Amino acid sequence: MDETFGVKVMELRALMENRGKEGLTAIEQKFGDIEGLIKRLKSNATRGLDSNDDNDFAARREAFGINYIPPKPPKPFYLLMWEAAQDVTLIILMVAAIISIVLGMTVEEDKKTSWIEGAAILISICVVIFVTAGNDWSKERQFRSLQTKLDEDQKMSVIRNGESQEVFTKDIVVGDILQLGYGDILPADGIYITGNDLSIDESTLTGETDHIKKGVDKDPMLLSGTSVMEGTCKMVVTAVGPNSQAGIIVSLIEGEEEDFSEEDSETEENDDDDDGEGVTVANGNGKAKVVRPSNKKEKSVLQGKLTRLAIQIGYFGTAAAVLTIFVLVIKFCANNFIVGKLACRISSANDQGVTVYHWDHKNHDLESCQTANTNASISNHEILRFKGWEKEYVSELLEFFIIGVTVLVVAVPEGLPLAVTISLAYSVRKMMTDNNLVRHLDACETMGNATAICSDKTGTLTTNRMTVVQSFFQGKLIKNTPSNDMVEKHVREVFSNSVAINSNYASKVLPPKVAGNLPSHIGNKTECALLQFCGELGQDYEEIRKEYTEETFFKVFTFNSKRKCMATVLKTETGYRLYAKGAAEVVLGKCDYILSEDGQPTKLNPATYDRLVSEVIEAMAGEALRTICVAYRDIEDSLDWDDEDVCIKHMTCISIVGIEDPVRTEVPDAIKSCQRAGVCVRMVTGDNLITARSIARKCYILPQTHDTDEGNHILEGSAFRKLVHDDNGTFNQEKFDMVWESLRVLARSSPADKYTLVTGIINSKLSKNREVVAVTGDGTNDAPALKAADVGFAMGIAGTEVAKNASDIILTDDNFTSIVKAVMWGRNVYDSISKFLQFQLTVNVVAVMLCFIGSCAHGASPLRAVPMLWVNLIMDTFASLALATEPPTPDLLNRKPYGRTKPLISRTMLKNIVGHSFYQLTIMLVILFYGKPLFHLDLWVYESKAPTTHGTLLFNVFVFMQIFNEINSRKVHGERNVFSGIFNNYIFVAVIIGTIIVQGFIIQYGGIAFSSSGLSWKLWLVSLGIGFSELIWGQVIATIPKSVIPTGLRFGSQPVTAEEANQARMLWMRSLKRVQHQIRVANAFKQAGHERHRRLSLLAEASSHKSQTANDGSHWWTAMKNDTDKLKGYKSAHQPLLEGVEDDTAV
């Protein structure tokens, strides 16, 4: 069907593989010019496509494809089960269980029942594998759903039916006319039609940090995944989805990723310790090459602490397992080969009259031996100690090995990875309802440790509903809407012309959808306020734009953070006219004239300038208004239009306006909550110092009675740079440390200042527990700070795609109160994991010590393998579900943050773990060594391999102490009321009830499989009573001060060395890997919603074309001229889209 459009999809794919002048030449040879290409695609550069023609859109999708790159298919459930079965400890248990079954059916005397324990172990392992695979499968579904949501939420501005419309990126088709602006990420490939001052960052394709200037006569090729860093343009879409450059790379990766050369495979193995995972692509020689990301973020705060804790638990578990096996084997050898085992030696004569001996190992006394052995040839019976080898010893040694492995399984908290995942996933889902769209899962818990928030002003602390409330025209300061007689008609016209023309044409004011409501603002809010003000002056900005279309513009100087103004040049009959608007003090400083009372230009002398600054600009700023100056200049002769300093000067000031952006009503209380929670809020804004101070006081960032700027509470960007840099412009951490603690407001700041502030605070060691910094941003230039912060918040409404792509969390309502909610959820995640650790480690310590002591004392573990697997792998899974889904409470904001280095296991937690472990172990040892006479039982647990009442009671008491201690574990800060809010978490209540029911079934009906013989109602009361005593003992422990725990006893706090990390992998096998990977589960959908963009960084390897190098420009991002030169050499924030990504969508 693509013949219908006069061009085939493969021709367009081939066209987009060209770069620079090559692309321009290819267009001319094939289509004549860009207009010819548009005609072949049956589109129109001015009107775009007909949005009402559904048949046309269907034909385009059939001919050229849809704008959607299918994700990698999810792993099937059986494969997830296979991966779960790769756990080394489970494999060891499986092998041991199979050997146990074989020996039980061949060697053991009771062949009918000896195989049951081995089979029960296998069944338990299957349950563990099934639960693990089910968890991974559910988790993958949740995150794919999140990725789909992010994809569907992306919109772009297109022209259809001659009007600008917002459409979802997946609905874009070949032939659409897209409108691109500052901060956009291209959703498809296309050709430049017209635009102004367009610069594109193609570093994801080429690795070049210089921005590429685009134009009809320069380089018209625009590629998906690249970012608009400056200017605007219209482009015609030529390739979408799998046929775009991003889609081609995805196909290339999926088709070639297994084509390794031997040398490259070795390289990959040698680089196994690198921070990032490699991604394989084909190179020009047909071989594969591993491309690794760079600049990977450090581990999250919780991840680092869990890694450290994993190492410490690994040491403990391995030592306990090895020591248990060693003691059992030594005792076995001593008893059987040194001391010997009592047996009856029977003497008899053979046919030749020679005396021979054989042993009866079943009868250990003379009378029973004589009764059992009555053959006439027997001459003598005697009881001796046998010191030889018996075939049954193989089974006993195997049992020792199984006990040791089971101790290791118990020591390793297998439920911890599940608790981490459940807590994070649960919180992420709930945070979405609180307007926090979490892109990187670890950001959720990191936010709970945040000690500082560096926030933007506009839209975050304020409503972002801009309105012009004051204006200065013709020498008069007007504090309401000017009437016609207050402002000359030609002044109103030149003002409206300047605003309407010198704005992004995507900014517009639409009538309210409901009568009586406020007009809708689309696009830049400041420009919308000015456009609405034009209407109040009686001017129609739409009519002006119809007369002066974007195609008539001669030159555009787009707004950026350096020039702080925007200018547009039109060609007139007498020469040129330049319109400018921007920060009032900046634009006014470039004016030589001002419109006087009669509306005519008069000379702007220094005295008038000073009066305007003090009486107009500063007066407006003092009322927290944003001040904008609008000006124009008539130019007769041509200038060097690439030199903005030559063009933007000698202007005439038309007006100065004050735009109000009210503080959100809920923000002051939210900031007070942060301050109570120990989180310092700093405001970083581009507004002038007076406006910033006024807003900061209204928000309670600055004290209400603070009348001076002493103590560096508020600084301008220029003063800040002087204070934190050496004379040669190099950043000095020592100087920075003298400034940042007292700093609350940074005004007239550049993106580089924000980056310096964020990284400086993170790297500072002034704070005892190190600072954890969150930052908000909406612009493309905020991306480095968003990337560098521990948690980056992008604005979902006002934020650019580049900013969102660099962020960890997207605020869907652009509201600061949503950040406070993120702090609360983050702390809840941290506390949930702490609760589970407190519970899990108590179980592990008691179980390991009980197994070790029992094994040393009696040569066998009092808790058999299957019951221990039930306790550790099944009940703890339920416990992780119960404790990880506790809802947050406002009390979480009444304590200080933990910071970066505070131990994961606090002294209070350690006191609880030690106290409850001591109590439980004491109870268990009393029952183990004195249970038979105390409870009038028949047999000790070690006197029979068959289930005994003694062993069943031990098992039941142990489980019920854990059930009641699970209730104690709901509080980790020393609270006494452990039942507070328990019914707010129905999952917890269901888990407790369910565990009791299952435990009762196991005890009464578990039989040989669970080494259970059932209990009488009296022993059930004993079990419940001892379990309930855990609650009373918890109150006793709460009375003991935490000072009894030495301050130097720290778990999960220090940095992890590479050697320790490697040891931990060996010691903790699967669990450490699962913790590290599941807590970074966002890597499975890294840059969620932008999966295709991460693939683009591979195009440089896959393509034989070189990108055209950009012309030298004044872009702060790449060159960092003048005082922001300190960032020179840093990659653009969205460049490492590939960083930290693992090809592991199933996690």
Three-class DSSP category at 734: helix
Q: Are strands 355-360 and 341-349 parallel, antiparallel or unpaired?
A: antiparallel
Q: Does the CA dihedral 823-825-830-835 come out positive or negative?
A: positive
Q: Considering only CA atoms, which of 654, 603, 612, 658 is closest in space to residue 633?
A: 654
Catalytic residue of the set 151, 184, 210, 456:
456
- Six-digit token pair at 790? 């521990």
* Catalytic residue list contains 485: no
CA angle, residues 156, 162, 164, in degrees to nearest 5: 25
Helix 88-106 / helix 116-153 crossing angle, nearest 10 deg: 150
Separation in Å, CA 728 to CA 93, 418, 717, 724, 732: 64, 52, 17, 11, 11
- Cα 674 to Cα 890: distance, rounded to the nearest angstrom: 12
Q: Which residue has the tokens 């209204």?
A: 698
278 and 271 Cβ atoms separated by less than 8 Å: yes
- Six-digit token pair at 242? 């799998």
Q: Which residue has the tokens 């200042």?
A: 753
Rg (CA), the chain: 37
Q: Considering only CA atoms, which of 622, 623, 617 is closest in space to residue 584?
A: 617
- Six-digit token pair at 1103? 């393509």
Helices (H), 222-365: 245-256, 262-270, 301-333
* Phi (first) and psi of residue 938, to 5 degrees: -80, -45
1043-1047 long-range Cβ contacts below 8 angstroms, 24+ apart: 1043/907, 1044/911, 1045/907, 1045/910, 1045/911, 1045/914, 1047/907
HEC profile of 137-181: HHHHHHHHHHHHHHHHHCEEEEEECCEEEEEEHHHCCCCCEEEEC
Burial 202-221 (b: 16+ CB within 10 A, else e): bbbbbebbbbbbbbbeebbb
At 367, which amino acid appears? E
- Cα 798 to Cα 813: distance, rounded to the nearest angstrom: 9
- Cα 973 to Cα 966: distance, rounded to the nearest angstrom: 15
Burial 736-756 (b: 16+ CB within 10 A, else e): bbebbeebbbbbbbbbbbbbb
Torsion of CA 36, 42, 46, 52, to 10 degrees: 180
Contacts of 267 (CB under 8 A, 6+ apart): 290
- Cα 847 to Cα 920: distance, rounded to the nearest angstrom: 10
By CB atoms closer than 10 A (0-12, 13-18, 19+), residue 710 is exposed
- Cα 815 to Cα 806: distance, rounded to the nearest angstrom: 19
By CB atoms closer than 10 A (0-12, 13-18, 19+), residue 673 is middle
Q: Which residue has the tokens 């029979």?
A: 944
* H or E stretch at 786: helix 783-788
- Six-digit token pair at 627? 């001040």
User: What residues are labeled active site?
Assistant: 456
